[in-house]
Structure 1
Amino acid sequence: MENAIDHLDNAIGENLRNQRLAQGLTLDALAEASGVSRAMISRIERGETSPTAQLLARLCAALGTSLSIFFAHAEKPASPFLARSEQPVWRDPDTGYVRRAVSPPGTGSNVDLIEVEFPPGARVVFAPQTANAGITQHMWLFEGEMEMKVGEAEYRLRPGDCLFMPLMAGITFHNPGQAPARYAIVLERRSGF
């Protein structure tokens, strides 16, 4: 799995650079818009470091995109089939949560399936992002437990529970348990997004 993670880190860097250049942004301009240092952006683009989920969310917001759309651009070419062994896997270096892109990319579908393993005690906070307008997600918990805060509403999920949420809201993911939580995220973009 480590090789898959290293490969996706390189793809993330290349994708970040391509999206930045496509928008005519310099490293300095993206740094100013995102609040992420120029040096850090440069290291990510060169594949020397893996960005945390929160840092990558800030970069995506500055680029006017979402994490899901960003990862879709970093993945393989279109095909209706994607074997588990070829599904891109990314580990958040800050919390250790593992994100596996299950959906075959580039199919034109407005739905993305993501498998996540979230370590015990880990917490990730995503600030509200206007780039996520029109994107919703279902979180379906298989194992463990999760505490979720969506805007001001708080939820505690146990195996089998499902939570629907708009991505434009600020969202906090927290695993209060002693074991990893495993869940599926089903993201849906409205047409035109």
Structure 2
Amino acid sequence: MSPHTSPENLIPQRVREERMRRGLTLDQLATQAGVSRAMISKIERGESSPTAVLLSRIADAMGLSMSALMREPRSAPTAIQRVQEQQQWTDPATGYIRRLLSPPGDAAEVEIVAVELPPGQTVSFAASATLHSDDQILLLEGQLTLTSGATVYELQPGDCARVSTHEEQSFGNGGTTAARYLVIKRHFR
């Protein structure tokens, strides 16, 4: 695989590799992720592009971050991630754009992700069952309604909120322009 392989092309291969590495059948992964066996099979064959929500559920069922399924398996940590090497992926359901900024490294390290959420769109993620992180959300442009569990934050540019993947999270853009924000994740098990 090339370092310039797009996440859309890597995801099918990475889902299959990680499922097999864990000794999971399609049925087992489907049950753990709450996704149909047929859908996982279609994703692995590259016949269906998963949404951000679906990819998050599959990654969580295997104890991985979404980012782990969007890039090459980690080898040695690197000190720099050049802009042309940063993987960018677009959610087919919402147009949500996710760009992996952090250099590859140990899964326990801090991960930085840049997100662009189109106006009128919402992306919701279930509470993580396996891989937890404390996340800080820094809004750069636009407006963002961030819901973490029962708490709702109305963010304006420059606002930063701390949330945990122990709780369900929802990111909504009720504005008329894209919401651009950074997610700084500190993973722990």
Q: Would the aligned equivalents of 1:79 and 1:105 in 2 still touch at CA under 8 Å? A: yes
Partner SS, residue 6 of structure 2: helix
Partner SS, residue 104 of structure 1: coil
What does residue 161 of structure 1 align with? 159
Q: Which AA in structure 1 matches 2:165?
A: L
What does residue 52 of structure 2 align with? 53
Shift of 1:32: 2.3
Partner SS, residue 32 of structure 2: helix
Distance 2:96 2:74 in 1: 19
What does residue 84 of structure 2 align with? 85
TM-score (norm 1): 0.87
What does residue 10 of structure 2 align with? 11
Shift of 1:12: 1.3
Matched, 1:173 2:171: yes
Distance 1:177 1:56 in 2: 26
TM-score (norm 2): 0.89
Q: Which of 142, 145, 151 does residue 144 from structure 1 map onto?
A: 142
Q: Which AA in structure 2 matches 1:178?
A: T
Q: Would the aligned equivalents of 2:136 and 2:183 in 1 still touch at CA under 8 Å? A: yes
4+ aligned runs moved over 6 Å, structure 1: none
Distance 1:175 1:111 in 2: 26
Q: Would the aligned equivalents of 1:10 and 1:46 in 2 still touch at CA under 8 Å? A: no
The answer to which structure has the higher helix fraction is 1
Matched, 1:39 2:38: yes
Q: Would the aligned equivalents of 1:75 and 1:88 in 2 still touch at CA under 8 Å? A: no
Shift of 1:115: 0.6
Q: How many residues align?
A: 187
Q: Would the aligned equivalents of 2:7 and 2:70 in 1 still touch at CA under 8 Å? A: no
Distance 1:60 1:174 in 2: 22
Alpha-carbon RMSD: 2.3
Distance 2:173 2:119 in 1: 5
Q: Would the aligned equivalents of 1:54 and 1:126 in 2 still touch at CA under 8 Å? A: yes
Alignment of 1:111-130 (within 5 A): 111-130=110-129
Judged with a 3 Å threshold, the aligned counterparts in structure 2 of structure 1 residues 124 and 28 are, in CA distance, closer, same or farther, namely same
Query: Which consecutive unaligned segments of at least 5 residues does structure 1 have?
Result: none
Q: Would the aligned equivalents of 2:125 and 2:169 in 1 still touch at CA under 8 Å? A: yes
Query: Which consecutive unaligned segments of at least 5 residues does structure 2 have?
Result: none
Shift of 1:62: 2.0
Distance 2:136 2:10 in 1: 26
The percentage of aligned residue pairs carrying the same residue is 40
